Chain A
Amino acid sequence: QVQLQESGPGLVKPSQTLSLTCTVSGGSISSGSYYWSWIRQPAGKGLEWIGRIYTSGSTNYNPSLKSRVTISVDTSKNQFSLKLSSVTAADTAVYYCAREKYYYDSSGYYKMTFDYWGQGTLVTVSS
């Protein structure tokens, strides 16, 4: 059974960089047809996709955050990480890591789901 676990500081000061790591257990981060994503959720609000990485190192980011986001992967540790720079109070949220499972159907169309999620970690931006 695949499990994902977020770790990192729960409190970050404004203008600093938020850094989180997601450790994957129960399977290799390098195997299979998967992207590895970060998603966040401000208190009482909806879900926002931040970005994803493939184990080759290829990344995609949400344009709304692209200038501040870096996602990286360490296959030797079975981990991937998120860095979000120049944070403000608006970045306060629960941050989830998630596995994006993808495949191509019989017609060659790309299909995906977020099939495994971490439990989430609350990051508060405050001085």
Chain B
Amino acid sequence: DIQMTQSPSSLSASVGDRVTITCQASQDISNYLNWYQQKPGKAPKLLIYDASNLETGVPSRFSGSGSGTDFTFTISSLQPEDIATYYCQQYDNLPQTFGQGTKVEIK
């Protein structure tokens, strides 16, 4: 299985801050990577697909980049409604695997 390692596992930031999460794959996955947001008690929601493409309807403060083994997810200006856990997911190989998640909190 391809292992996906996210860091940090949690972070606390102020409203308006720039927030960056990294995701590292255990092998080259090209750009076969998606990012999801999960709010407490809810199902995950797709934010970014193919590493850098913004899903329709998702605010432009969310962005993604990277290719190969190293990927970055960024919130350019943290908003109170962004409090959630964020997951990366690879689909280069089955089984599809997720990172362990990054919990984002407001300072």
Contact = CB atoms under 8 A, between A and B. Distances in A.
Interface residues of B, number: 24
Contact of A46 (B32, B49, B55, B98): B98
Interface stretch (B19-27, B67-75, B89-97): B89-97
Given A63-B95, A112-B91, A114-B36, A47 B50 contact: no
Nearest to A4: B43
A6 to B, nearest CB: 10
Q: How large is the interface on A (under 10, 10 to 19, 20 to 34, 35 or more residues)?
A: 20 to 34
Nearest to B87: A47
Contact of A119 (B43, B45, B96, B101): B43
B21 to A, nearest CB: 14
B93 to A, nearest CB: 11
A36 interface: no
B95 A46 contact: no
A57 B99 CA distance: 29
Nearest to A102: B91
Contacts, number: 48
A45 to B, nearest CB: 8
Contact of A117 (B1, B44, B50, B95): B44
B44 to A, nearest CB: 6
A63 B36 CA distance: 24
B43 A46 contact: no
B98 A114 contact: no
Given A46-B87, A46-B101, A47-B87, A120 B95 contact: no
B46 interface: yes
Contact of B43 (A49, A60, A112, A120): A120
A113 B44 contact: no
Contact of B99 (A46, A49, A114): A46
A47 B34 contact: no
Interface string A40-71: 00000111110000000000101110000000
B97 A49 contact: yes
A113 B45 CA distance: 10
